[in-house]
Amino acid sequence: MQLRRTILLLLALTLIFSLLKFYFKHNKKANKVNEATPIAWMGPEIEKDSTIQADEKEMIRYGQDLIAHTAKYLGPKGIISQTTNGMNCQNCHLNAGKQAWGNNYGAVYATYPKYRDRSGTIESIYKRVSDCMERSLNGKALDSNSKEYRAIYAYIKYLGKEVAKGTKPLGAGIEKPGLLNRAADKSNGETIYIAQCKICHGEKGQGQLMANKEEYVYPPLWGEHSYNDGAGLYRISNLAGYIKNNMPYLKSNHENPILTDEQSWDVAAFINTQPRPHMDQSKDWPNSKKKPFDYPFGPYADNYTEAQHKFGPYTEMIKKSVK
C-alpha cells in the first residue's frame, strides 16, 4: 500500500515536472521571437512607388539626383551654379540618404523643425540642409525658393513619409562608437589610413575625380575640397561612428564592421588633424555648457583643454558634465 502510493506520487510529480518544462521551453521560444533584432530603416524606392503623381515624382527624382550627384549641379563645374566644393551629399549620406546606419535621412521629416543647441534656435529642414551646404560642402546655401531646394525638400519629405512624427527610426543618422578610456591616437590612425583607406582616398586625402572631372569617384577626406572645420564630421565621434559602420567602402557595415572602436577613433583623429578649410563659427553653441564633449573649439564651461576635447580621453569629462 505504502509503496503504491509513493510510486503514484512520484509519477504525478514527474508529470507535473514535464508539463512545467514543456511550458517554459515554449515560452522561452516565444520570448525569443519577440526579441528578434529590430530591422533598421531603409528608404523607400521611388521608382517602385505607384502612389505618387507623375509631376510629384519628377520633383522627388530630381531631389534624389541632387543628393547623389550634387557636384554635377552645384560643384565647381556645376550646370546650375558653382557654389560647393565638388563633394556629393551622398558621399556622407550613403545611397542618397536611404542606407541603414549610413547617415540616412530617415529621421529628418519626422523630427524637424527642432531646437538645436549648435545654433540655439529652432531649425527648419531648410536651415539644416543649408548647414551641410555651408559646412560639409564648404559652399553656399541654396535659395529656399529655388527649384533645387524644393526638389531636395520633396525628396526628404518623401523618404520620411512612413516615419511617425517625432520619432527617429533605428539606424538613422550616425551611430556613436563606444568611448575609449584613452585619447585617440593619430599616429596609430595614420598607420590604419595607409593600410585601409589610402588606396581609394589617396596619399594626401585628396580623393579621386572621375575622368570628366565633374564628380569624385572617391571623395576627399582633407584638403581644400573637403568639409570645413565647422562640419559635423569635424567632431571625431561623428567621423569615427560613420567610418566604423561604413568604411572601407562596401566591405564594412553595421553587422560586420571592419575597424574596431579603437581603430575608428584613431583614424578619425588622424583625418581631423590634417589641413582643411576654416569657417567662422563664433556664433555656434551660444550656450557653452551645451557644447558636445568632442567639439574642438573653446571657450568651454569646464577646465579641459581644446586638445582633450578634440581627442579625449572623454570618460571623466562626460561624468563631470553630467553631475
Q: Can you give the binding site for ligand HEC, defined by CB under 6 A? A: 67, 70, 87-94, 103, 105, 107-108, 128-129, 132-133, 136-137, 152, 172-174, 196-197, 199-201, 218-221, 227, 231-233, 238-239, 242-243, 247-249, 259, 267
**Given the complex with ligand HEC, which of 209 and 243 has the nearer CB atom?**
243
Distance separating alpha carbons of residues 236 and 264, to the nearest angstrom? 9
Cβ contact 143:55 at 8 Å = no
Q: Give the shortest CB-198-to-ligand HEC separation in angstroms.
A: 8
> Which residue, 131 or 308, has its beta carbon nearer to ligand HEC?
131
295 in Cβ contact with 309 (< 8 Å): yes
Minimum CB distance to ligand HEC, residue 322 (Å): 20
**CB under 8 A, 24+ apart: contacts of 253-256:** 253/101, 254/40, 254/100, 254/101, 254/171, 254/175
- Tell me the CA distances in angstroms from 135 to 14, 89, 111, 266, 275, one per residue in order: 71, 11, 21, 23, 15
**What are the grid coordinates assigned to 252, written together?**
564594412
- Burial degree of 80 (CB within 10 A; 0-12, 13-18, 19+): middle
Please, what is the minimum distance in Å from the beta carbon of residue 233 to ligand HEC? 5
Q: Specify the residue, 92 or 317, whose C-beta has the smaller distance to ligand HEC.
A: 92
Of 272, 317, 279, which is closest to residue 85 (Cα–Cα)? 279
Looking at the Cβ atoms of 35 and 45, the one nearer to ligand HEC is: 45
Residue 34 C-beta: closest distance to ligand HEC, Å = 28
- For the CB of residue 42, give the shortest distance to ligand HEC in the complex, in Å: 15
Which C-beta is closer to ligand HEC: that of 152 or that of 154? 152
In the bound state with ligand HEC, the residue whose beta carbon lies nearer, of 113 and 298, is 113
Distance CA 234, CA 116 (A): 17
The minimum distance between CB 108 and ligand HEC, in angstroms, equals 5
